Amino acid sequence: MESVFEATVSRTEDGSVVVMSGTVNRAAKEALESAYEEAASGPGKILMDFRGVDYINSTGIAVIVGVLAIARAEHRAVGAFGLTDHYREVFTITRLSDFMTIYDNETAAAAAG
């Protein structure tokens, strides 16, 4: 049932993308935080790619909040794309979207300054 969470980092022209797959729950904490650190070691904005994520629960939201807290302390801009309509709604309800820009897709995310 549980799909293992994985996160890898790829560099773009003006920043980094944290590409995630699997389930975002409390078990994702370590992998997501170290992927964030890797992304944050480079310059530019950080994008989180949710296209490969099949399930996010409240413990996963807590993990994302944890990452956003680090980013905020470091004054790093974080964006996200690839969320389903439902999880966009969840991100809105939880106000996560106030602290990370949600883009419709990868192109929109890359184009945004």
Partner 1 sequence: MVQLMRRRRAEGTESAQVEETASESKTRLIDAIPIPMGDPLEALLLSNGGPVVLRDLEFESAALDGLRQSGVELVVPLIGQGELLGALYLGPRLSDQPYSTDDRRLLGSLASQVAPAMKVAQLVREQQAEAKERERIQQELQVAALIQQTLLPKELPAITGWQVDAFYRPARAVGGDFYDFIDLEDGRLGVVIGDVTDKGVPAALVMATCRSMLRAAAQRHSAPSAVLAEVNDSLVPEIPPAMFVTCLYAIIDTGAGEIVFANAGHNLPYVRSNGGVIELRATGMPLGLMPGMSYEETSYGMGAGEVMVLTSDGITEAHSPEGEMYGFARLMGRVGKKTSEDDMLNEVVNDLEKFTGPDAEQEDDITLVVVKRTSSAQGAASTFLPLEGGVPLQDGGESEGPQVLARFSVPSEEGNERIAIAKVTAAIGSLALQPDRLERLKTAVGETVMNAIEHGNEFRSELDVEVEVCANDDTVSVLVTDQGGDKLIPEAAVPDIEAKLAGEQTPRGWGLFLIEQMVDEVKSTSNGGAHTVELVMNREGAL
Question: Should residue 1 be labelled a site residue for partner 1 when binding is judged by CB under 8 A?
Answer: yes
CB closer to partner 1, 4 vs 108: 4
Question: Should residue 68 be labelled a site residue for partner 1 when binding is judged by CB under 8 A?
Answer: yes
Strand 78-81 with 6-12, pairing: unpaired
> CA-based angle 49:37:42, to the nearest 5?
85
Question: Should residue 99 be labelled a site residue for partner 1 when binding is judged by CB under 8 A?
Answer: yes
**Rounded Cα–Cα distance for residues 59 and 62 (Å):** 5
Report the first-to-last Cα separation within the chain, whole angstroms.
38
Contact with partner 1 (CB under 8 A): which of 41, 86, 111, 113?
86
Contact with partner 1 (CB under 8 A): which of 9, 15, 24, 25?
25
